[in-house]
A and B are shown apart, each in its own frame.
Chain A
C-alpha cells in the first residue's frame, strides 16, 4: 500500500464557523486507486471534510494538494474540472429531470459545442449529444438502471435515486469520487448492490474512492484504509484491522467510563 502514489493530501486543515471548530488540524492522504473511508460519530466533521475537498468550504488553515498541485482557494466547479465528483448524504438529484438527463448533466464539463450549434441542434451539437448519450448508456448499463432511464427521478424509490446519483457522478469520469453515506437508509440487498458497484467502479475504472459511511461492517469490508474523526480531530488512521483494534476508536464509538 505504501508504494502507491498519493492523489490527494490534506495537511493540518482547520475549519471553523464562527466559534465552532468543525475540523481542527487534520492531516491525511488518499492514495491513487484505493478506497478510503472517513468514519466517525455524528458531528465529527466528516461531511465538512468532503466539503473542504470539494471547494465548498475554505479552510482557515492548512493545505490541500490534489494530483501533486497545491491548491489555492478553489471554487466547486474548479474541483469538478480537476476530476473530483461527489454524491450527497441527502440525495441531491435534479428532481425535474429524467434519469438519463441527470446522468447527461454530469457530462456538462465534457460537452463544449457552442451556443450556435446548440440553437439548431444540428451538426457538431447533435453528434456530441449522441456520443455522450452512448457514454451515459454504458453507465446506465453498468448500474443496471436501464428500466428507469426515461423516468423522472423524483418518482423513483430512494435506493434507485442513490444509484442514479452515483451514475451522475460517474458520468464526470472522476479521478476521485467522494461518496457521502452512499448506503444510508438502504436495506441489506440494496447495500450489497451498492457495495458491489463501488468495488466495480474502483477496480474497473481505477477510480479512487473516498466514502463516508456509518455501517461499520460495510466500511471494514470495502475500504483499504480508514480515517477516524471525532469532534473535528483525527483519532486514528490505518487499515481496517488497525483501526478496529485502536483503543481511541473503541472509546469514541462505545464511550468510556468517566
Chain B
C-alpha cells in the first residue's frame, strides 16, 4: 500500500547502489532517528532512558559486532563477552592513567585494544572452522575472564575486584559516574551507536563486506576470486572485536557504572549470540531486533501483571517472564528460522506487491 517503489526511477548506478534505494525506507529511517534523538529524550521517563534504551543500544552495538563475525563472515565465536570485557577494562585503565583526556576518546580507543586482542585470538580461524572454531574462541572467553579476575593491575588493585567508574565530563557536562543524567548518557551512547552502525552499513555493503560474505558462503571460490582468507578473516575479527569492545566500554561507563568480571562471563556471550541468531545472521537491522527481543521483551512482559492489576508475587513474575520470553523466542524461530530480519524482509516484500500474492 504505502510501501511501494513504483514510480521511483533510478537514472544512475549511484542511486541504485545506495544502501537504502527505496524512498520509504529513507523516510522510515529518518523518522526512527527523529524519535531516538528528539522524542525519547524529551518525553521519555528516566526508566525508559536508563533501563530500556541505553542497555538496548549497547547490546545492539555488541550484536552488530558479533554479527560481523558470525553472520557476515561465518566464523562462530563464543567469546563475545570477553571482548566486551577487554573494551571495558581497556577503557578503565586508559581513563585512570590519562584522566585528563576526554572519556569518549577512550571509549572509542578501547575498541582498538579489543580489536588487537581479537586479531590474536582470530589467528586459529585460518585452520579451523565451524564448531571447532567456536571451541577455540571459548579459550579466549575463559582466558580473558581469568585475567579480569586474577590480574589486579587491570582493576587498579581494588579490594572489591570490581571496576568503578568515576565522574568524567564532556564539554563541562558530566557524562559518566553518579552525577551524569540519563539523558546525557543516552545522547552519548546514541551518537556512538548511530555513527558506528552507519560505518558498519557502509562496510558490509562495499567491497569488504562482499569479501566477508564470499568467505562465509564458499571459501574455496573466494580464494579463486583473489580474496586472501587470512587477511579477510582477521579483518573481520578486528572490526568485530572493535565494535564489541566499544559496546563493553559503553556498558560499564554509560550503563552499569561499575562491573565485576562476572559481567563478562560465558552466559553473556551466549546471550549476545542468541541476539544475533534470533535477530538474523548477516543483517544489521537484525542485530537491533535481536537486542530488542532479548532485552526489551522481558521488560514488557514483566510490566503486564502490574498494568492489568493482577496480584502476583515478584518472584512468580520473574519466572513467568523467563517462560514467556523463552516461548516467544521458540515461536519466532519456528516461524522463521532465519531470524527476525528475514521476517521483516518478507513483510516488506508482501507490502510491495500487495494486493497481489507475488
- CB within 8 Å of B: which residues of A? 54, 56, 75-77, 79-81, 85-86, 88, 92-97, 101, 104-109, 111, 113, 115, 118-121, 125-126, 128-130, 133-134, 137, 168, 172
Tell me which of B19, B218, B282 contacts A92 (CB under 8 A): B218
How many residues of B are counted as interface, with CB atoms below 8 angstroms from the partner's CB atoms? Answer: 31
Write out the residue numbers on chain B whose beta carbons fall within 8 Å of the beta carbon of A105.
Answer: 210-211, 213-214, 222, 225, 227
Write out the residue numbers on chain A whose beta carbons fall within 8 Å of the beta carbon of B12.
Answer: 130
| CB of B355, distance to nearest CB on chain A (Å) | 23
Complex CA gap A97/B74 in Å reads: 13
| CB of A134, distance to nearest CB on chain B (Å) | 6
Check A92 against B210 for contact (C-beta < 8 Å): no
Complex CA gap A50/B247 in Å reads: 47
Write out the residue numbers on chain B whose beta carbons fall within 8 Å of the beta carbon of A115.
Answer: 208, 235
Beyond A77-B227, A109-B225, A130-B13, whether A121 also contacts B218 by CB under 8 A is no
Check A76 against B223 for contact (C-beta < 8 Å): yes
| CB of B108, distance to nearest CB on chain A (Å) | 13
B200-232 near A? 1/0 per residue, CB < 8 Å: 001101111011011011101111111110000
Tell me which of A77, A85, A107, A119 contacts B203 (CB under 8 A): A119
| CB of A36, distance to nearest CB on chain B (Å) | 19
Beyond A94-B214, A126-B14, A130-B13, whether A108 also contacts B19 by CB under 8 A is no
Q: Could you jot down 14 A-B contacts, CB within 8 Å?
A: A76-B220, A86-B224, A88-B220, A93-B218, A95-B217, A97-B213, A105-B214, A108-B226, A118-B207, A129-B207, A133-B16, A133-B17, A134-B13, A172-B225
| CB of B308, distance to nearest CB on chain A (Å) | 43
Instruction: Decide yes or no whether B334 CB sits under 8 A from chain A.
Output: no
Write out the residue numbers on chain B whose beta carbons fall within 8 Å of the beta carbon of A76.
Answer: 220, 223-224
Complex CA gap A97/B211 in Å reads: 11
Write out the residue numbers on chain A whose beta carbons fall within 8 Å of the beta carbon of B208.
Answer: 115, 118
| CB of A77, distance to nearest CB on chain B (Å) | 5
Complex CA gap A126/B211 in Å reads: 16
In the complex formed, the residue of B with least CB distance to A97 is B213
| CB of B250, distance to nearest CB on chain A (Å) | 19
| CB of B37, distance to nearest CB on chain A (Å) | 21
Instruction: Decide yes or no whether B199 CB sits under 8 A from chain A.
Output: yes
| CB of A90, distance to nearest CB on chain B (Å) | 10
In the complex formed, the residue of A with least CB distance to B211 is A108
Beyond A92-B218, A130-B14, whether A125 also contacts B225 by CB under 8 A is no
User: Looking at B13, B207, B222, which has the most chain A CB atoms within 10 Å of its CB?
Assistant: B207
